[in-house]
Amino acid sequence: HEEIFTNPTATKPRFLSQWQQIATYFKDYDEHLLFEVMNEPHDQLTPALWNTYFAEALMEIRKTNPTRKVLLGTASYGGVAGVRDLNPPNDPNLILSVHYYDPFNFTHQGADWAGNKDKYLGTKWEDLVWERNQVMSDFSYAIQWAKQKNMPLHVGEFGSYELADMDSRARWTTFIA
């Protein structure tokens, strides 16, 4: 489905058709099944377009799954900062879902797919007050937004790349969790 990120207009009919098919197929499953409309929208699928595409996919879903919980992710790779760009439809069965990989220089050190093959190697997470405060600051708007919208908040992904030292990774993961 990478084409939707480079040419959203051309792929939109397929995207909506897939959601019609998925929703129909799973309509009789119980409430333990949730839908996530898309993982990490990005590039040409801008935040403004994502708001529209999400709303239209949700309309397809609601035809056969009127009360199923649906995860609403953010554009710009699902990051917590993308919450500011969301304009969700009015639906009582949405769950805000964010991903968290910050500080990036710690979580992605040595990650060649992110252009960091030799960058940031040796960056530590010491679990210091200022480090914790930064994480809490990163989440504060999302928490406030979710409360205002009466929407549960789900952290769908978080983690750090294996080239970070294990003690730092354990401290970071424990704090985030």
**From CA 104, how far away is CA 22, in angstroms rounded?**
34
Catalytic residue among 36, 56, 131, 157, which? 157
126 close to 171: Cβ distance less than 8 angstroms: yes
| 40 tagged catalytic | yes
Is residue 157 part of the annotated active site? The answer reads: yes
Q: Beta partners for 99?
A: 79, 157
Q: Which of 40, 56, 60, 162 is catalytic?
A: 40
- 103 preceded by a cis bond (ω within 30 of 0): yes
Q: Is 37 exposed, middle or buried (0-12, 13-18, 19+ CB in 10 A)?
A: buried
Which residues are part of the catalytic machinery?
A: 40, 157
